[in-house]
Amino acid sequence: MNPLMSVALMGQGGAVLGYLLLHWNNVRDREICIPSFLSTLFGISEPAIFGVNLRHKFPLIAGCLASAVSGAYVYLTHLTALGFGTTALSGLAIANPADNGYVNYIVAHLIALGPGILFTVLIGRFSKSEKEKKAQEKKLKEIPAVKAEPNVVYSPVKGRAAFIAECSDPVFNQKSMGDGMVFMPEEELIVSPVSGPVMMVFPTKHALGIRTEEGTELLIHMGLNTVSLEGRPFELYVGEGDTVKAGQKIARMDLKAIEGEGLSTETPVVITSMQPVTVQNTGTVNWGDSVMTITQKD
């Protein structure tokens, strides 16, 4: 049983590497995938499974397929262990040395690792979700670079911009949380409207707060009443403590999933430090268009 468990773990490690190859240019994915894979080498599978594979689904399937291939090799070579518990690199210490056991142990894990990478890359290339993600990333590359100016807020979406009074949620349209604007996105990508550190990220991923370089505190609320969705339609590319630039990709929101739950995709951006704003641009906007200026308190 122990060698079978070990190669199952290594198959999931290979799937993490396959996902990493598909998203090497994504810094945040690299930061998650590399330590997740390294932990599998010492028998710890939770970061790989829950941090990457189960989250994106298709790597988990690819890892299981790779484990099946390697498991067949374990069975055919009669690979066993002298004890139970340690796996992966540390499991070599309890591999049964009879009948080239050490060699078969290493080969079995390489078999799990290689197909884990290969199956993940192949399934990923034909996965609908991956194709959509690549299409969104391609659109992001079309976003013009934003030369941020002090106290200027830029559009976080491609879609339509309106006065905050037009928001359908009274908490926002009555400026209970501060002045600002509301956006109706047509694309799923969300970019930062300002430059500065990310001060707060809700556990449900639907909202985050940023403090501008001038000290203004700003809230981006993706959708209305979307806290009830427990983060399912959202993917964040930044975390608390990260410093972002205006126009930088910070999140993705699944518009169809939100609308399918009967909720609005309206995205208010409000100044929670309560400074007044001057709206510069309403109607159709692109990512990074300047939309309002913040009046600093004396």
- The residue from 23, 56, 109, 221 that is catalytic is 221
Q: Please, which residues bridge with residue 181 across strands? A: 163, 269
- For residue 254, report the phi and psi dihedrals to the nearest 5 degrees: -80, 100
- Per-residue CA distances from 77 to 102, 115, 143, 236 (Å): 11, 19, 55, 45
Per the CB < 8 A criterion, the answer to whether 270 and 179 are in contact is yes
Sheet of 290-294, strands arranged across: 152-154, 290-294, 277-279
Tell me the two tokens of residue 101. Answer: 């056991």
109 is catalytic: no
- For residue 215, report the phi and psi dihedrals to the nearest 5 degrees: 95, 5
Per the CB < 8 A criterion, the answer to whether 275 and 296 are in contact is yes
Q: What is the CA radius of gyration of the chain?
A: 24
Q: Please calculate the CA angle 291-293-297 and round it to the nearest 5 degrees.
A: 155
Cβ atoms within 10 Å, residue 216:
24
Distance CA 240, CA 248 (A): 15
- Would you name the residues annotated as active-site residues? 221
